[in-house]
């Protein structure tokens, strides 16, 4: 499989497109005015503790207070409630006091459940963002700091060594686990003779498969250096403030994709290209030759029709090659995907047509989830199938297509109604939420009342006003579409209403009003 990265950089915005076999699969957008926050570490202050929700709201200096659930707090209760321990923003104290939360695969457990025993209003906490603010919700926080690099994730409060489940070779898993344990035990830090943190856990990432011991050691030293800087900054930083910011989008992308099958990275900014080359030269020298500057006059995203694909990803429908289509509806609670045969009529029989459409849809669904970055609960309504073997094959095809998704997905079950229920981890906003906003006309509903309905509402409002107030004349302000209907189709009803209330009614067009806006003014 041919995999390329196209990176478009402007002063206002950076965009990264992941191309597989010439087809856009994922797109990432980061704007200078609104950078992603996931991975950032803050020194914050607890504003409110809500025992009923087992959660707290923390001021970390963002527009909205961030959310911290009890299950995301690893530190034990403070004996005196006044010390400078883990909840007071001291990373060294945090790592010394916190219980182990990483098992063999990096899963966390053992978090206390009573938030009143952990936090009080005014407490200072060192927290990390695990979910960006989405919609009206603030950022989601954790006190379990995790600093990622190319091959490792360092967890100061842990003690175990986990290995990514995607590394399947048991011998390689054991080699990596033992090597990390040895390096951690030796404890040489970035400066010769200094002692590295004796505590802390690690997760070995998928990219570390076949990585040399030298690369793993360099990665570990790099992580210790970052954590040391976090400790220094958090000790003197005011509250609230950021004490560590993750890399910008381009470097984060390269970090996540080190060791993967990326064949070429093309960047249209010479300065950014040099920065990326410096990064891979340190962590993955074999990738340096794959990084190239794109000097062409033609916009880089036009090379593979990326701009057109982004526009299509914002539409409600996604077309299938056969003539069928998906209807993708993203709501606050969940995303629903409906599969339709559309213009596809097949060549044999209805059951075979349905089966082929559903099979094709699995590939399109997996791509659309990545391209649109849809997360949370996802309900898929495949076309009803009678054959149990067909159902099994469609589900297996969906599972196989999702294997290439770097974001964690889980297919829960097929409901009694034949709906496929699944989840996809959501840590940042979807493509639609980044590029679009709710329609000011319909308020995000996706539909508006007809001119007829608005006209009848105006009739009712006129009756209400005439009964409550002694007016000599009423003035109706409305959109041109509604006024035209009242004058034409509803002229008879309008005249009858005017005669019934005994008050003259004047109609006036307001060019700035949308269809549902109107005012009835007493004169």
Q: Evaluate whether 422 touches 412 at the Cβ level (below 8 Å).
A: yes
Which pLDDT belongs to residue 192?
36
109 Cβ contact list (under 8 Å, min separation 6)? 101, 103
CATH number 3.30.420.60 is the correct assignment for the domain at 3-35+250-306 = yes
CA neighbor of 176 nearest in space, from 221, 144, 207: 207
Sheet order of strands, 335-340 included: 317-319, 325-330, 335-340, 376-381, 420-424, 409-414
For residues 455 and 485, what is the distance between their CA atoms, to the nearest angstrom? 8
For residues 467 and 502, what is the distance between their CA atoms, to the nearest angstrom? 11
Which pLDDT belongs to residue 325?
93
Which pLDDT belongs to residue 464?
93
Backbone region of residue 53 per phi and psi (left: phi > 0; alpha: psi in -120 to 50; beta: other values)? alpha
Is a pLDDT exceeding 70 seen at residue 307?
yes
Is a pLDDT exceeding 50 seen at residue 141?
yes
Q: Tell me which CATH homologous superfamily contains domain 41-244.
A: Nucleic acid-binding proteins (2.40.50.140)
Is a pLDDT exceeding 70 seen at residue 112?
no
For residues 146 and 205, what is the distance between their CA atoms, to the nearest angstrom? 13
pLDDT digits (tens, 9 = 90+) for 214-262: 888 888 888 988 898 898 888 888 999 999 998 899 998 888 876 667 8
- Residue 147 exposed, middle or buried by CB count within 10 Å (0-12, 13-18, 19+): buried
Is a pLDDT exceeding 60 seen at residue 305?
yes
CA neighbor of 68 nearest in space, from 122, 110, 131: 131
| Range of lowest pLDDT (78-82, 163-167, 278-282, 476-480) | 78-82
Q: Evaluate whether 287 touches 280 at the Cβ level (below 8 Å).
A: yes
Which pLDDT belongs to residue 79?
42
For residues 519 and 513, what is the distance between their CA atoms, to the nearest angstrom? 10
Residue with tokens 């990803």: 313
CA neighbor of 151 nearest in space, from 188, 105, 206, 189: 206
pLDDT digits (tens, 9 = 90+) for 315-354: 999 999 888 899 999 988 899 999 998 765 655 678 888 8
For residues 124 and 88, what is the distance between their CA atoms, to the nearest angstrom? 4
Q: Which residues make beta-bridge pairs with 505?
A: 474
Which pLDDT belongs to residue 346?
56
Q: Which residues make beta-bridge pairs with 162?
A: 203
For residues 43 and 453, what is the distance between their CA atoms, to the nearest angstrom? 53
CATH number 3.30.1710 is the correct assignment for the domain at 314-425 = yes
Residue-by-residue DSSP string for 273-308:
HHHHHHHHHHH-GGGGGGEEE---SS-GGGTTTHHH
According to CATH, where is 2.40.50.140 located in the chain? 41-244
Q: What is the DSSP letter of 288?
A: G
According to CATH, where is 3.30.1710 located in the chain? 314-425
Would you give the end-to-end CA distance of the chain in angstroms? 73
How remote is the C-alpha of 331 from its chain's centroid?
14
Mean pLDDT across the chain: 85
> With pLDDT > 70 as the criterion, what percentage of the chain qualifies?
88
CA neighbor of 18 nearest in space, from 249, 209, 286, 288: 249
CATH annotation of 451-522: 3.40.1260.20
What angle in degrees, to the nearest 10, is found between the helix axes of 388-402 and 350-372? 20
Q: Evaluate whether 356 touches 322 at the Cβ level (below 8 Å).
A: yes
pLDDT digits (tens, 9 = 90+) for 24-70: 999 999 998 878 889 999 999 999 999 999 999 999 999 899 999 99
369 — pLDDT class (breaks 50, 70, 90): very high
CB atoms within 10 A of CB 450: 14
In 3-state terms the chain splits into helix, strand, coil percentages (rounded to 5) of 35, 25, 40
CA neighbor of 231 nearest in space, from 376, 91, 86: 91
Is a pLDDT exceeding 90 seen at residue 306?
yes
Strands 264-267 and 3-9: parallel
According to CATH, where is 3.30.420.60 located in the chain? 3-35+250-306
The stretch 452-459 carries a mean pLDDT of: 96
The token pair that represents 440 in the structure block: 């000011």
Sheet order of strands, 3-9 included: 23-31, 13-20, 3-9, 264-267, 291-293
* Cα-based angle 139, 142, 146 (whole degrees, multiple of 5): 115
The stretch 385-393 carries a mean pLDDT of: 89
Residue-by-residue DSSP string for 43-72:
EEEEEEEETTTTEEEEE-SSSS-EEEEGGG
Which pLDDT belongs to residue 111?
42
Which pLDDT belongs to residue 460?
95
For residues 231 and 93, what is the distance between their CA atoms, to the nearest angstrom? 10
According to CATH, where is 3.40.1260.20 located in the chain? 451-522
Is a pLDDT exceeding 60 seen at residue 303?
yes
Alpha helices in 300-450 (DSSP H): 306-312, 350-372, 388-402, 431-435
The stretch 374-397 carries a mean pLDDT of: 92
Is a pLDDT exceeding 70 seen at residue 121?
yes
Is a pLDDT exceeding 50 seen at residue 265?
yes
Question: What's the pTM value of the predicted model, to 2 decimals?
Answer: 0.76
Q: What is the DSSP letter of 248?
A: P
Rg of the Cα atoms in the chain: 29
Q: How far is CA 106 from CA 103, 153, 435, in A?
A: 5, 9, 34
């Amino acid at each position: 499989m041919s995999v390329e990265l196209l990176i478009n950089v402007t002063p206002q915005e950076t965009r990264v497109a992941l191309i597989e076999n010439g087809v856009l699969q994922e797109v990432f957008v980061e704007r200078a005015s609104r950078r992603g926050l996931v991975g950032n570490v803050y020194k914050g202050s607890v504003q409110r503790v809500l025992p009923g929700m087992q959660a707290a709201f923390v001021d970390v200096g963002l527009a909205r207070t961030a959310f911290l659930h009890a299950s995301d707090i690893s530190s034990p209760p403070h004996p005196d409630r006044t010390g400078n321990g883990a909840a007071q923003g001291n990373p060294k104290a945090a790592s010394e006091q916190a219980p182990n939360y990483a098992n063999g695969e990096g899963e966390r457990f053992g978090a206390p459940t009573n938030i009143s025993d952990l936090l009080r209003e005014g407490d200072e906490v060192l927290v990390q963002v695990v979910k960006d603010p989405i919609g009206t919700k603030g950022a989601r926080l954790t006190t379990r700091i995790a600093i990622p690099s190319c091959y490792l994730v360092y967890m100061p409060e842990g003690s175990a060594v986990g290995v990514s489940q995607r590394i399947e070779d048991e011998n390689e898993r054991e080699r990596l686990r033992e090597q990390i344990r040895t390096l951690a035990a030796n404890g040489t830090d970035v400066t010769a003779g200094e002692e590295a943190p004796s505590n802390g856990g690690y997760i070995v990432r998928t990219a570390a498969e076949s990585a040399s011991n030298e690369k793993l050691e360099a990665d570990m030293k790099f992580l210790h250096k970052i954590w040391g800087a976090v400790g220094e900054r958090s000790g003197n930083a005011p509250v609230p403030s950021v004490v560590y910011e993750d890399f910008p989008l381009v470097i984060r992308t390269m970090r996540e994709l080190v060791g993967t099958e990326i064949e070429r990275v093309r960047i249209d900014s010479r300065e950014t290209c040099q920065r990326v080359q410096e990064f891979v030269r340190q962590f993955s020298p074999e990738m340096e030759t794959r990084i190239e500057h794109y000097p062409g006059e033609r916009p880089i995203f036009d090379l593979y029709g990326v701009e057109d694909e982004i526009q299509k990803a914002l539409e409600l429908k996604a077309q299938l090659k056969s003539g069928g289509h998906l209807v993708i509806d993203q709501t606050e609670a969940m995303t629903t995907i409906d599969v339709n045969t559309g213009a596809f009529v097949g060549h044999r029989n209805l059951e075979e047509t349905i089966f082929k459409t559903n099979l094709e849809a699995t590939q399109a669904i997996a791509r659309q989830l990545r391209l649109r970055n849809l997360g949370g609960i996802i309900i898929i309504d495949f076309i009803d199938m009678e054959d149990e073997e067909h159902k099994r094959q469609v589900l297996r095809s969906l599972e196989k297509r999702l294997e290439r998704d770097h974001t964690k997905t889980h297919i829960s079950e097929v409901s009694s109604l034949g709906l496929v229920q699944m989840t996809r981890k959501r840590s940042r906003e979807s493509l639609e939420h980044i590029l679009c906003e709710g329609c000011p006309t319909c308020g995000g509903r996706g539909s508006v009342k007809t001119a007829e309905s608005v006209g009848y509402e105006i009739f009712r409002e006129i009756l209400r006003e005439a009964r409550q107030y002694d007016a000599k004349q009423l003035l109706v302000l409305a959109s041109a579409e509604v006024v035209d209907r009242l004058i034409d189709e509803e002229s008879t009803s309008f005249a009858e209403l005017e005669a019934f209330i005994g008050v003259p009614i004047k109609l006036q067009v307001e060019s700035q009003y949308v269809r549902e806006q109107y005012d009835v003014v007493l004169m």
